[in-house]
Structure 1
């Protein structure tokens, strides 16, 4: 009897071993500003690797400044903003997967962050005019099929961040040098509201709407804080002190709405904040200094952080597990890694061994 039971147990183990397990793979595109290249990074839950590096410059003797990244809502194309031009910058469109260049649009001076509205289907990119006079700049509105700039909307001085409300009907950006939050109604193409989010040189560098609540978060790079804006009352309701010298730069909120992830550009760290309590859960040291970009995976599990590096150091992408608040992987990319956009999650089957 025991022999039969042993055989049955052994057979059961063999069956279990043959059953495939599901593993997630995560893909993101990362721009390296001083290398004029974009890296496709894959993370399999354990290791991060660069699948491909795509050169995006067109003037070999110059650094053109690959800066902002976004992926179309259908996942079929990725876009990179090239900051330096003659005289203007441009946005370049590529196919995902093949990474073949499709077309480019000339936009304003020093284009940076961008996103596509699912309401209008149009791409909105801020022109932050880094070396220009301290005068209001614009948001370029680009038709992504033909890659044509169809209009510009004047906003603030050195606009940063370019993020849309969850329903795609409102566009938000901040004027770094005028301390103002700007809201554009995408249907009218006009600025609908403005709000001073702080006093003095707060230098806002990012705005991130909450995925399900009428709230937006603004990084004050010059004041070491993140402020919470109630979008219904159009007032600042909370201030998160990030700590002296942290210089918060970019933000993302997990799709489940529970967690705010903040890149601390000044201290080379990542801040993880619980949005229910308003308390910081953890600070994670990044692999390189000068932490820059952040994007959270659609399952709210991981944050992909870019760090520029210092001097001749390569840029780096760090993967932070938001459950454990620990850095679990990293991979080097090109010099001055900055803009980052999530592409897709793939479910892979792997047999037990």
Structure 2
């Protein structure tokens, strides 16, 4: 396990440090600031995934409107927030689609809303807010949809469908990856059982590779998108010799195509595995926090921002040292992250805990000031 430092080694703090730096290099070069939580706003409709749109300088938040009993309490939709102030600008009504996951094609200005429960994908025009299509699969594969990844160059959208689980001795529907044609917004094909239980996805568009996390076995499959065949699989967690990977650990993925590196986000282990894509080998692991759930690579610094769901924090992993340089409290249950590629600002969705499924019906819903919020972090 790597030693964790308290701040990024290349960053200096305060006016005194800035003066020393300027004197040392003979010019008034500004020091890099440390990541900081700027503000949080309440979104009172059970927020899940978020996405950023550079064209509108807005953050889009999927809100399910579901209560602890999974009954509809308020209207589901996609809340549109101003990227600078986090003020709500609009709300896209999604009708019968209850959005959990989101994917934006910034070229076509369409957003894809994943309805995990109904097993459909709603497509909406971002300019008008109107519904374009609702996509479903009539096959025998699982329709428990999870994540959307958009290939803007090819105008394709990939959706993971979790499946392959055995309950009461019976195997359920196979997991799958949907391939949606963004030109027609129709289901083009289905990649069946690339792994046993498909969870997170990561796309290398230039090399036509899709990486799929197998939540059941904590392994990763590499798919050739030209043939839709699995080229290889590799471990995403380190185990003892001759031992099998711990199940239900690797849940999401992030990719650094520039440096040929894949990040496996491991919720049980509470951290990240760094995998060299050339060899398929784990090069190191980094502990970030309890219930590590999702991550985004910062396009400017190369740092990795990791949402630790059970800790209520977002950890920053330094691009060069791979030390954790910050733990930032953002909310009750950090879910997903989005980043503005121009300003570098980081956005976090924080779900509420609620009263819990085992609570009596008459139990009050706890007040959670830091639940169902969107948080802004300056890098």
CA-to-aligned-CA distance 1:60-111 (integer Å, 9 cap, x gap): xxxx6421101114051111011122xxx11111111321111111044121
Residue 295 of structure 1 pairs with residue 338 of structure 2: yes
Shift of 1:147: 2.2
Instruction: Report matched runs for 1:55-74 at 5 Å.
Output: 55-58=93-96, 65-74=98-107
Name the structure where strand makes up a greater proportion of residues: 1
Residue 42 of structure 1 pairs with residue 92 of structure 2: no
Q: Does the 8 A contact of 1:164 with 1:209 survive in 2?
A: yes
Q: Give the TM-score taking structure 1 as reference length.
A: 0.75
Shift of 1:25: 7.7
Q: Give the TM-score taking structure 2 as reference length.
A: 0.70
**How far apart are the structure 2 equivalents of 1:300 and 1:202?**
35
Residue 114 of structure 1 pairs with residue 148 of structure 2: yes
**How far apart are the structure 1 equivalents of 2:125 and 2:310?**
34
Instruction: Report matched runs for 1:1-353 at 5 Å.
Output: 26-33=57-64, 34=66, 36-44=76-84, 47-58=85-96, 65-85=98-118, 89-107=119-137, 108-129=142-163, 133=167, 136-153=174-191, 154-165=193-204, 167=206, 169-198=208-237, 199-201=245-247, 203-243=249-289, 246-256=290-300, 258-287=302-331, 289-299=332-342, 301-311=344-354, 312=365, 315-322=372-379
**How far apart are the structure 1 equivalents of 2:200 and 2:224?**
16
Give the gaps of 5 or more residues in structure 1: 1-23, 59-63, 323-353
**How far apart are the structure 2 equivalents of 1:300 and 1:159?**
33
CA-to-aligned-CA distance 1:29-64 (integer Å, 9 cap, x gap): 1112335321111122xx211111223241xxxxx6
Q: Does the 8 A contact of 1:119 with 1:169 survive in 2?
A: no
RMSD: 2.2
**How far apart are the structure 1 equivalents of 2:340 and 2:258?**
16
